[in-house]
């Protein structure tokens, strides 16, 4: 007969997770507030470009993608009160000034002939950083105590991967000359530098020690 008083691991022998995750409630709320801010900005950026990009196929994809990011922001908005933050707008902020500068640089290409720069900024820089931030969070939070956040991240990551694939395919159809490839790479490098300065979507530590101060 099993001893009912013998100490047992809280999880099955094949399950190696730990009950506490890397983030406490305050840290999770801080990150979620930054995620919401960034998702809102991406929704605004894509929505603003719909009317100006001349390529119909690009226009249609941006229209589909922008509302996904609005939904992501709504998920994070609804999560904040569950993390003891009764005023979600208080944490809906950029992590630092460098992130604000990144958004300004992302939206800077406004001319109709700059579709390459628009798409590169979103699909080769911004969305890959979302994927990195969300994957790090998912892998380092508790699936027990922070299950709702993990569930939201899984839904959002599916969108991010789908949109990244769509965006990369669009970019490849637009890069037809060496000069266009150079335009794309130079713009990407400029934006990546700004995101490194910001430390990632949620500031320094977004994906752990690589960005930690």
CATH number of the domain encompassing residue 88: 1.20.1260.10
Q: CB within 8 A of 83, min separation 6: which ones?
A: 25, 28, 29, 32
Q: Is residue 207 part of a domain?
A: no
The chain-wide mean pLDDT, for the chain, equals 91
Q: Is residue 95 part of a domain?
A: yes
Per-residue pLDDT, averaged over 122-135, amounts to 97
User: Which residue in 123, 110, 115, 90 sits closest to 183, CA to CA?
Assistant: 115
Q: Give residue-wise pLDDT tens across range 24-82.
A: 899 999 999 999 999 999 999 999 999 999 999 999 999 999 999 999 999 999 999 98
Per-residue pLDDT, averaged over 77-89, amounts to 88
Per-residue pLDDT, averaged over 14-30, amounts to 77
Q: How many residues does the chain have?
A: 213
| Rounded-to-10 torsion of CA 142, 153, 169, 172 | -60
Q: Is residue 53 part of a domain?
A: yes
How far from 109 is each of 26, 65, 77, 118, CA to CA, in Å?
A: 36, 19, 29, 6
Q: Is residue 55 part of a domain?
A: yes
- As for how many domains the chain has, the answer is 1
Q: Give residue-wise pLDDT tens across range 143-184.
A: 878 899 999 999 999 999 999 999 999 999 999 999 999 999
> Comparing 100-104, 135-139, 177-181, 207-211, which segment has the lowest mean pLDDT?
207-211
How far from 200 is each of 62, 106, 130, 144, 178, CA to CA, in Å?
A: 23, 14, 9, 26, 30
Q: Is residue 161 part of a domain?
A: yes
Q: Is residue 168 part of a domain?
A: yes
pLDDT attached to residue 1: 62
pLDDT attached to residue 213: 43
Q: Are 73 and 92 in contact (CB under 8 A)?
A: no
pLDDT attached to residue 18: 60
Q: Which two tokens stand for residue 126?
A: 């911004």
Q: CB within 8 A of 89, min separation 6: which ones?
A: none
pLDDT attached to residue 212: 44
| CA–CA gap between residue 213 and residue 203 (Å, rounded) | 10
Q: Is residue 9 part of a domain?
A: no
Helix (H) or strand (E) holding 172: helix 147-174
Report the percent of the chain where pLDDT is more than 70: 92
Residue 3: pLDDT band (50, 70, 90) is: confident
Helix (H) or strand (E) holding 175: none
Instruction: Identify the residue whose tokens are 């939904």.
Output: 71
Residue 153, domain extent: 25-198
| Rounded-to-10 torsion of CA 73, 57, 110, 96 | 30
């Amino acid at each position: 007969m099993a001893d009912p008083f013998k100490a047992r691991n809280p999880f099955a022998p094949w399950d190696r997770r730990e009950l506490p995750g890397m983030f406490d409630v305050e840290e999770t709320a801080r990150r979620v507030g930054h995620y919401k801010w960034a998702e809102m900005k991406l929704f605004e950026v894509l929505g603003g470009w719909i009317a100006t990009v001349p390529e119909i196929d690009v226009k249609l994809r941006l229209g589909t993608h922008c509302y996904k990011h609005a939904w992501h922001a709504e998920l994070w908005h609804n999560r904040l009160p569950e993390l003891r933050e009764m005023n979600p707008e208080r944490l809906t902020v950029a992590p630092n000034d460098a992130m604000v500068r990144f958004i300004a640089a992302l939206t800077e290409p406004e001319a109709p002939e700059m579709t390459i720069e628009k798409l590169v900024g979103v699909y080769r820089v911004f969305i890959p950083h979302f994927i990195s931030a969300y994957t790090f969070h998912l892998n380092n939070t508790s699936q027990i105590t922070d299950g709702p956040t993990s569930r939201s991240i899984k839904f959002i990551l599916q969108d991010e991967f789908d949109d990244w694939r769509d965006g990369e395919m669009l970019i490849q159809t637009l890069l037809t000359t060496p000069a266009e490839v150079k335009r794309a790479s130079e713009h990407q490098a400029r934006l990546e530098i700004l995101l490194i300065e910001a430390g990632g979507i949620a500031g320094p530590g977004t994906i752990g020690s690589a960005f930690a101060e």
